[in-house]
Amino acid sequence: MVEMILWTTDFVIRWIGRMAKKHGGIVHTQGEGPAMDWGQALSYGRYGPDWIKIMERDKIKDPDMEAVKIAKKWESGELPEWMYFPSAQQEKKP
């Protein structure tokens, strides 16, 4: 169990770096909440808009395999509709 937690945590830490390099460090939601970093966005994607309450209530501190599946999906380019990157959009404008 401890080895799995260490593996998932290590994966997510490296994933955050890759996603930040590719898309920037800030993730925005389409009118559903504040801007967040990739770790927070993964929690949002895993647990929904009330992710903070759920994680506090259930004492969740580490990513699980479902979070890793979501991270891999996002890294492959399947980003959720609620996610956008205004800084990336501005860079594309002439």
- pLDDT tens for residues 41-81? 999 999 999 999 999 999 999 999 999 999 999 999 999 99
Write the pLDDT tens digit of every residue in 25-39.
999 888 766 789 999
Distance CA(3)–CA(57), nearest Å, equals 24
Distance CA(77)–CA(70), nearest Å, equals 11
| pTM given for the model | 0.83
Strands 83-84 and 28-29: antiparallel
